[in-house]
Amino acid sequence: MKRRSSVSLLVVAGLLLCAPAPGFAQQEKKPNPFNAEIVGQAQKLYGLEFNEAERDSALENLADQFENYLKIRAFALPNSVPPAILFNPIPLGFQFEKEKKSFKKSETPRIAVPKNLEDLAFASVGQLAQLIRTRKITSLQLTTMYLNRLKKFGPKLECVITLTEDLALKQAKRADEEIAKGKYRGPLHGIPYGVKDLLSLKGYKTTWGSVPFKEQVIDEDATVIKRLLQAGAVLVAKFTMGELAMGDVWYGGRTRNPWNYNQGSSGSSAGSASATAAGLVGFAIGTETLGSIVSPSTRCGVTGLRPTYGRVSRAGAMALSWSMDKIGPLCRTVEDCALVFNAIAGPDGIDQTVHDAPFNYDPKVDWKTLRIGYLKMDFDSARGNRAGNDSVLAVLRKLGAKLTPITLPKIPVENLRIILSAEAAAAFDDLTRSGKDDSMVRQMKGAWPNSFRSSRFIPAVEYLEANRIRYLVIQEMQKLMSGIDVYVAPSFGGSNLLLTNLTGHPCVVLPNGFTKEGTPTSITFTGQLFGEAKLLAAAKAFQDATDYHLKYPKLEEN
């Protein structure tokens, strides 16, 4: 594999202008590889204007900095090592809810065991849990049924990277033994699930959906997988993801939307959404940095929770953007998301960004006290699904909600995408410098290889300046959210998706209709920081008043 030269003067000079001050003393005086002309050309990349004397004065510092880069690059930095600078989404004056209350789930309507167990494929976690708890079905029966469906429909959907069959059968048998002895762990006990293949699992490949990593084995269990093991859930598969968490194209193909096999499932939690929508698991785990739960949940018609930044440990997960990555569940119902979130949330002593905040979920909604806003401008300007979006407001009003029109902070956030770009380039810097990015599947201008290379020219100063603006956005969002508990918005259009991923606010995305072509559409509920309890309760009330989540796609066998 070729290695890109690190002494190309124009490239290096471009990188130098965004570097920190020298940190290592130079032992010997070496010839300076740079001159004022090179610096003059490089400064054009950044919109800077230094005169000849200023450029000449900088040459010695630039040479010193270049030596620092080489020494820094000599350190082996695996993707799992975070930067010492941790993102803090908490605004000035913010207070956590202090009292921790018991988790309250809805009363699940009784469900009978069908003659054909496969008729339970689309049942909710709550329904499946009721059958397992009362021992009307076993986890082994359920796990075997889902494994068979994964084998039957998974290849056509291109949604499975690794089937963890032996592990699943072992975990299912153990769950049945524990339940038979009266040791019931809770509503996830014995429930089969799958994870996006950026979560590490001992003894199995963790491919990140990417050619350079498709043989990678990370010898640890991600915290989320450990938490679900403690809850008694059964891991049946590792699902496809867009290569290095972009889109739905991975090294083995393109993950399909079960509603329309000619469409990709969107991404990057592509397999998690596709498999959940197709009834191949009880629930799945995905991640979001900028739409990777919202987008595939929309495309595939499932319900996804993107938790507050700092709610779920990312230990054992591939890092794309340390200040934006979040882990959350993709399920068939809002309350399923609450059940899974309750099991995976909380600090683990490894991920230092995680806060110990209570999750006091109660599905009952008091419409007299719950303050709900809606992004009026986004509803008015929505290009697609206008009728579906407006129907959401009508349903909420019928339920008793008093809706307040709101407007997001008038700070342009589109330019702050460089935060993600810079962090992603750092997370995969070795891939870029080694030239191994040439083996990745997607090579167009908008794909990661070109993005990583281009992002090498983002100045450190601009990265920090962007984060200073981000700080202001966080404070302005707190002012807005101090007057409401939850707000509703179209899932796409406007700045809401990018803004809330930058500020770390939680959201629930759930089906709200279908296009003329018969594919799902969605609506997004956004809550206060660490306000998942009220957020999920409000979204559940809407979902219970509709039936979009009860419709399922017709599947094609392999």
| % residues pLDDT > 70 (the chain) | 95
pLDDT digits (tens, 9 = 90+) for 286-305: 999 999 999 999 999 999 99
pTM: 0.93
470 Rama class: left (phi>0) / alpha (psi -120 to 50) / beta: alpha
Residues with pLDDT less than 70, the chain: 1-29
Cα 500 to its chain centre, rounded Å, is 13
Instruction: Single out the catalytic residue among 124, 139, 196, 265.
Output: 196
Whole-angstrom distance, CA of residue 538 vs CA of residue 531: 11
d(CA 6, CA 13): 11
Residue 323: predicted pLDDT:
98
Q: 272 catalytic, yes or no?
A: no
Helix (H, G, I), strand (E, B) or coil at 271: helix
Known catalytic residue at 292: yes
Classify 497 as helix, strand or coil.
helix
Chain-centroid distance of CA 442 in Å reads 20
Q: Over the range 1-16, which residues count as b (16 or more CB within 10 Å of their CB) and which as e?
A: eeeeeeeeeebbbbbb
Query: DSSP for 366-387?
Result: -TTT--EEEEHHHHHH-SS-HH
pLDDT score recorded for residue 557: 87
Q: What is the DSSP string of 99-133?
A: ------PPPPPP-PPPSSGGGGTT--HHHHHHHHH
pLDDT at 7: 36
pLDDT value of residue 27: 55
Tokens of 373: 């806003």
The architecture CATH gives domain 121-351+365-412+466-550: Alpha-Beta Complex (3.90)
Domain boundaries, the chain: 1-75, 121-351+365-412+466-550
Q: Which of 268, 269, 421, 455 is catalytic?
A: 268
The yes-or-no answer on residue 196 being catalytic is yes
Given this model, what pLDDT does residue 28 score? Answer: 61
> Annotated catalytic residue: which of 292, 313, 323, 491?
292
- Kindly report the number of other CB atoms within 10 A of residue 85's CB atom: 10
